[in-house]
Amino acid sequence: MNPPDIGLFSLFFASIFTSNILLANFLGMCSFVAISKDMKSSNGLGLAVTVVLTITAAVNWIILHHVLIPLDLLYLRFIIFIIVIAAMVQILEMIIDRVSQKLYITLGIFLPLITVNCAILGVSLFVEIRDYGFTQTLVYGFGSGLGWWIAIMALSAIRKKTERTKTVPAGLQGSGLTMITIGLMAMAFIGFQGMLAVQ
């Protein structure tokens, strides 16, 4: 078990920009396309994803290295990961409900959506495949969440502008144009790749 030799700062930076979970790995697209119509909801969902992503990446790492690998139950990991994610979302929902009613109203509707957000499960699986250590996992989870948040905020701001233009052909309106916008954003983020590349 040798965690790859990546500095924490580079890992953090890479997970936000060069290997952005959404633009480079295509994870979390479903809710991304659906929610990015509205900036306020995008912000709420981005925050929720960041929180859940950080917590579940850490919890899944602990379970993976202290339960599944010692017991040789690695083939059960998909089921275990998804259960952990569902449970974490549920617990978080209850905690937020108790602690801050205001936050609960903002985040409430987004939390259930997160269970089926591919980004969450994707990060846990990347962590397993790339053999990250615990601190690296925390940093990677948090960075990926932030990257997702930045991407959805940027996209929803762009969509707000493009929706006002009348010149877009009917067939391209909506999801088609969104896809092409995401493509352009992905190109912009690839520009960061000259700075560092972490795969």
Partner 1 sequence: MSDSAAPQTVGGVLTENLWHSNPIFMQVLGICSALAVTNLLVNTAIMSVGVIFVTMMSNLTVSILKSLFPRKVRMIVQVLIIAFYVIIVDIVLRAYLPDIHEALGPYVGLIITNCIIMGRAEAFAQSNGPLLSMWDGITSGAGYMGVLMTIAFFRELLAFGTLFGFTVMPAGFTPWVLMAMPPSAFFFLGIIIWIGKTIMYRQQEAAA
**Contacts of residue 69, Cβ cutoff 8 Å, sequence gap at least 6:** none
Least Cα distance to 50 among 154, 149, 134, 139 occurs for 149
Toward partner 1, which CB reaches closer, 19 or 54? 19
> Is residue 177 a contact point for partner 1 (CB under 8 A)?
yes
Name residues contacting partner 1, limited to 144-173 (CB under 8 A): 169-172
**CB burial of residue 70 (10 Å; 0-12, 13-18, 19+):** exposed
> Is residue 4 a contact point for partner 1 (CB under 8 A)?
no
Stretch that binds partner 1, among 42-50, 53-61, 112-120, 152-160 (CB under 8 A): 112-120
Stretch that binds partner 1, among 9-17, 78-86, 95-103, 142-150 (CB under 8 A): 78-86
> Is residue 10 a contact point for partner 1 (CB under 8 A)?
no
Q: How far is the CB of 137 from partner 1 (least distance, A)?
A: 14
List, in sequence order, the alpha helices (H) in the chain.
8-16, 29-35, 39-63, 77-99, 101-107, 110-115, 118-130, 134-162, 175-190
Q: Which spans of this chain sit near partner 1 (rule: CB under 8 A)?
A: 23-30, 33-34, 75-79, 81-83, 86, 115-122, 125-126, 128-129, 169-172, 175-180, 182-184, 186-187, 190
